Structure 1
Amino acid sequence: MSTTLTDRYPTRLLTPAPAMTREDPTAWGTADDGPLTSDRLDAFDRLGYHAEQSLLTRQEIEVLQEEAARLAVDPVLRKDERTIVEEKSQAVRSVFEVHRISSVFARLAADPRVVGPARQMLGSEVYIHQSRVNYKPGFGGGPFYWHSDFETWHAEDGMPVPRAVSVSIALTENYPYNGSLMIIPGSHRTFVPCVGRTPQDHHRNSLRTHSVAVGMPDQNSVGELARTAGGIEQFTGPPGSATFFDSNCMHGSNGNITPYPRSNIFIVFNSVDNVLGTPFAAPAPRPTYIAGRDFTPVR
């Protein structure tokens, strides 16, 4: 447990504990702080997400698609620990820290259309906590089970409170049937503690397998969130569409057994007022390619 901060979101417990109502804001900024209107910022605060159908142009996406494809077949990068492969098919599942290994993705992370709404949502300057490309190849892309990113970032990275936002940008067409992102609306307002102590080097298994239990919410909690929220929202759209979502949103995605691959880039921005400390529920911090500890604001 952290020795420097009070743990306001205890998790990775030995016995089940009830869900907690979130006390921290979702929208920390105002309409005067960025590109989103007050109505859109209010909707983000209420639902936990904000979607854009055409954040990037077709020409911009073509460059990003080529870069994502290059990273997936790079033989040197394939041997790097930043590349995660599917447990069964051995196809590339994720490549982490793409904003550091690719100038193309570095420029994207600093694009005002990407970082501007994040600054507004978090009400401060931001730094990059994590970046990755998630690949779901046709006929074999595995699922990502229901989870709250903040639960993991709090337990294993030492993120104090849920003052972070992810941006998911579609690099391919996201259909309802090829593993597109699903979010339970309003779930960001409830923190679900998870049961089970974090093993040493947990990330080596949790990032590549579909069956890790530590850090996953129980089915009753997910079901209750879906019932009280009125269902599940699925985010589909063409290449260049984007979804900004709060770090505590309960979200996941199905596997991809269709012929149509699905690839998205994720950039996670954390507030410079919410920097990482000692993990709250893990033996040691995860590597910096997963949880960045360079807190320099994005410019």
Structure 2
Amino acid sequence: MHLSQEQIDDFNEQGWLFLPELFDAGEVALLKREAEAIYAQQRPEVWREKNGAPRTAFAAHTYNEAFRLLGAHPRLIRPVERIFGERLYMHQFKINAKAAFTGEVWQWHQDYGTWKRDDGMPEPKAMNISVFLDEVMPINGPLLLVPRSHLAGDLEATHDVETTSYPLWTLDNETVTRLVAQGGIVAPTGKPGGVLMFHGNLVHGSAGNITPYPRRIVYLTLNAVSNFIRTPTRPSFIAHRDFAPIEPVADDALGRMAQGFQAAAE
């Protein structure tokens, strides 16, 4: 997977880029099955909503083979290496659930705000690259992005530890209103297997999901090796301490695993 110069220019201007159906149905089916098995586990890496529904599962690439392969997949690693111009390590890996009927909100925030304040990341030279495991629709709590808001830099934020089960450094309504007046709001949607990448300073959030349709998304937070975190305060399964460059696996590695599972089931 190689980004064109036009795609890179668009990303730099808008702060986000969507790549439709980068992973096929077999690869996605494997990841969905493995995600559900992880959500069913009682382990510290699996965080839940206040009602007990799964909210996110951290560090799945360290204890699940399918997600290990995804975390080193060249379709995800190579585009970000090209944008940053250097090797990458995994700062964070999570599978967000946004469960049907009960998925809660993610407040307006910038990811780099948390990475800087909680982890001691020097610069916003990291980004989230997300893989849709379900169809993301306008109705089931898609990510809401404020285009070009990354150009505003690192914004003042407040640590919200009460609204949801996951604390965030969030932005006030006045700031969000100002940025939306300048850039608007977009809600990228797409089929399972689509990939959304967005700048660490891009303002984003999402509403709750009251539909019957879950919205599971895998997030890889890929950080430039030179930009490793200096003063982490969060557990290592949330902010990783292994700064070794990711060595991409073969492009067909995840597909071969999916085919193996399918053959065993037949």
TM superposition score normalised by structure 1 = 0.79
Q: Distance in 2 between matches of 1:194 and 1:169?
A: 27
C-alpha change, 1:207 and 1:156, in structure 2 (3 Å) is: farther
1:37-186 → structure 2 map (5 Å cutoff) = 37-74=4-41, 78=42, 80-87=43-50, 89-186=51-148
Contact 2:105 2:164 (8 Å CA) reproduced: no
Counterpart among 205, 208, 222 of residue 269 in structure 1? 222
C-alpha change, 1:95 and 1:195, in structure 2 (3 Å) is: closer
Q: Distance in 1 between matches of 2:231 and 2:163?
A: 20
2:185 maps to amino acid: I
What's the secondary structure of 1:44's corresponding residue?
A: helix
Contact 1:173 1:238 (8 Å CA) reproduced: yes
Does 2:185 match 1:232? Answer: yes
Contact 1:96 1:132 (8 Å CA) reproduced: yes
1:125 maps to amino acid: R
Corresponding residue pairs, total: 246
1:148-297 → structure 2 map (5 Å cutoff) = 148-190=110-152, 191-195=154-158, 208=165, 215-229=169-183, 231-278=184-231, 285-297=233-245
Q: Distance in 1 between matches of 2:198 and 2:158?
A: 25
What's the secondary structure of 1:104's corresponding residue?
A: helix
Cα shift at 1:206: 7.7
Cα shift at 1:207: 6.7
Contact 1:181 1:252 (8 Å CA) reproduced: yes
Contact 1:54 1:241 (8 Å CA) reproduced: yes
Aligned-pair identity (%): 34
TM superposition score normalised by structure 2 = 0.89
Cα shift at 1:52: 0.6
Determine the structure 2 residue equivalent to 1:13.
none
Contact 1:99 1:106 (8 Å CA) reproduced: yes
More helix by share: 2
Contact 1:84 1:207 (8 Å CA) reproduced: no
1:45-69 per-position Cα deviation (integer Å, ceiling 9, x unaligned): 0011111111101111111111111
Contact 1:136 1:179 (8 Å CA) reproduced: yes
What's the secondary structure of 2:170's corresponding residue?
A: coil
Determine the structure 2 residue equivalent to 1:20.
none
Contact 1:130 1:267 (8 Å CA) reproduced: yes
1:192 maps to amino acid: L
Cα shift at 1:129: 0.3
Q: Distance in 2 between matches of 1:116 and 1:183?
A: 23
C-alpha change, 1:100 and 1:124, in structure 2 (3 Å) is: same
Cα shift at 1:137: 1.4
Q: Distance in 2 between matches of 1:101 and 1:208?
A: 23
Aligned Cα root-mean-square deviation (Å): 1.6
Cα shift at 1:278: 2.0
Unaligned runs of 5+ in 1: 1-33, 280-284
Q: Distance in 1 between matches of 2:158 and 2:36?
A: 37
